[in-house]
């Protein structure tokens, strides 16, 4: 199987698939960390639903589905952000209508498009890495660079608005503009990930590496770095496994990310247990963790 795998990975389309997957694995957690911090882990999933309507519009009008997906999902993400900003309880229902409307609209429009069957729909729902063309790869790279410029370049500001939005307001930060920027970048990330893991599994690659990273990290910057590393490892491992066993790359990447999470959780638990079992080191010279005062 090893020789086989090397043969497979020497094929240009597999190399493009690997590169596309690695870019997705890098950028999805860098954005997902802000969603997780806001307790909006599942929002990526919802934006993915909305993006499907964009795909439908693209297929129906004969324009690039990636571009229309970005446009429609960006509009959807802005709507989600405005609903969040209001903070009403009825917002929950509004989100449900938006998300299911998005996926239903997509399926409906794809059905109207001439000569586009359900096979085409599946490739957007679950990814179609193996058909990534050189042009697709350029698009993915450019969009990925935009996302990274925002998520890494503006980290202190985005951290501030996600950590404590009121404090950010009193600091005079352009909170609303930053929130909308984050929403639009969520839409862009979803669209990039649509090619690799598909719209239904986008959220996993945004959230699972972050969940794994925060099991072992101490700070926000550290979590972000580890999550991006975890995303890249999952994407790479997922592609190799899918090439070896001829499984769907998107689903395999997501399973690899979940396996990584479970591995980190298990190792972390074992380490903690061992630390507890060991006799405590001489505490005489260490300052106590906390002191109870009267």
Partner 1 sequence: MNADGGNPPVLEIKHGAVAYDRPVLRDVNLTVRSGEVVAVLGANGSGKSTMIRAGLGLVPLAEGQVELFGVPLPRFRQWKRIGYVPQRLGAGGGVPATVGEVVSSGRLARRGFPGLLRGDDRQAVARALAAVDLTDRAGDPVASLSGGQQQRTLIARALAGEPDLLVLDEPTAGVDAKSQEAFAQALRDFVRHGGTVLLVAHELGPLQPVITRAVVVHDGVIAHDGAVPHPAGHHAEPGHDHVHPHAPQDPPSIWGRE
Give the footprint of partner 1 on this chain (CB under 8 A): 33, 36-41, 153-154, 156-157, 159-160, 162-174, 210, 214, 217-223, 287, 290-294
- Asked whether the beta carbons of 48 and 24 are under 8 A apart, the reply is no
Compute the least distance from the CB of residue 35 to partner 1, in Å. 8
What is the C-alpha separation between 54 and 228, in angstroms, rounded?
27
Compute the least distance from the CB of residue 180 to partner 1, in Å. 15
Q: Around 275, how many Cα atoms within 13 Å sit in the side-chain half-sphere? A: 6
What is the C-alpha separation between 52 and 81, in angstroms, rounded?
19
Query: Which residue's CB is nearer to partner 1, number 84 or number 116?
Result: 84
Query: Which residue's CB is nearer to partner 1, number 119 or number 291?
Result: 291
Compute the least distance from the CB of residue 169 to partner 1, in Å. 7
DSSP code at position 287: P
Give me the residue label for tokens 């996926």.
103
Compute the least distance from the CB of residue 34 to partner 1, in Å. 9
Compute the least distance from the CB of residue 212 to partner 1, in Å. 12
Rg (CA), the chain: 21
Compute the least distance from the CB of residue 209 to partner 1, in Å. 12
Compute the least distance from the CB of residue 10 to partner 1, in Å. 40
Query: Which residue's CB is nearer to partner 1, number 38 or number 84?
Result: 38
Q: How many other CB atoms are found less than 10 A from the CB of residue 55?
A: 29
- Asked whether the beta carbons of 35 and 211 are under 8 A apart, the reply is no
Query: Which residue's CB is nearer to partner 1, number 115 or number 219?
Result: 219
Query: Which residue's CB is nearer to partner 1, number 211 or number 239?
Result: 211
Nearest residue to 31 via CA among 127, 125, 159: 159
Query: Which residue's CB is nearer to partner 1, number 13 or number 159?
Result: 159
What is the C-alpha separation between 80 and 244, in angstroms, rounded?
40
Distance of alpha carbon 186 from the chain centroid: 8
DSSP code at position 132: -
């Amino acid at each position: 199987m090893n020789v086989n795998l090397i043969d497979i990975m020497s094929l240009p389309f597999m190399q493009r698939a690997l590169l596309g997957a690695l870019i997705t694995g890098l950028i999805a957690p860098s954005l997902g960390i802000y969603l997780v911090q806001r307790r909006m882990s599942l929002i990526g999933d919802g934006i993915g639903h909305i993006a499907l309507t964009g795909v439908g519009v693209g297929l129906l009008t004969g324009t690039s589905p990636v571009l229309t997906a970005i446009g429609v999902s960006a509009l959807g993400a802005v709507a989600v952000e405005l609903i969040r900003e209001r903070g009403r309880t009825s917002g929950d229902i509004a989100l449900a209508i938006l998300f299911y409307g998005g996926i239903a609209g997509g399926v409906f429009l794809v059905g109207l498009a001439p000569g586009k069957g359900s096979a085409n729909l599946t490739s957007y729902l679950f990814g179609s890495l193996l058909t990534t063309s050189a042009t697709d790869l350029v698009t993915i790279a450019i969009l990925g660079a935009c996302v990274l410029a925002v998520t890494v370049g503006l980290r202190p500001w985005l951290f501030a608005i996600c950590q404590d939005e009121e404090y950010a307001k009193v600091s005079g930060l352009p909170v609303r503009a930053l929130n909308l920027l984050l929403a639009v970048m969520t839409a862009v990330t979803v669209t990039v990930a649509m090619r690799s893991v598909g719209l239904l599994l986008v959220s996993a690659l945004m959230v699972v590496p972050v969940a794994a990273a925060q099991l072992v990290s101490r700070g926000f910057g550290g979590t972000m770095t580890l999550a991006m590393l975890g995303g890249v490892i999952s994407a790479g491992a997922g592609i190799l496994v899918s090439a070896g066993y001829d499984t769907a790359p998107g689903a395999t990447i997501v399973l690899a990310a979940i396996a990584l999470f479970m591995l980190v959780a298990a190792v972390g638990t074992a380490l903690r247990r061992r630390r507890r079992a060991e006799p405590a080191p001489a505490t005489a010279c260490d300052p106590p963790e906390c002191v109870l005062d009267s």
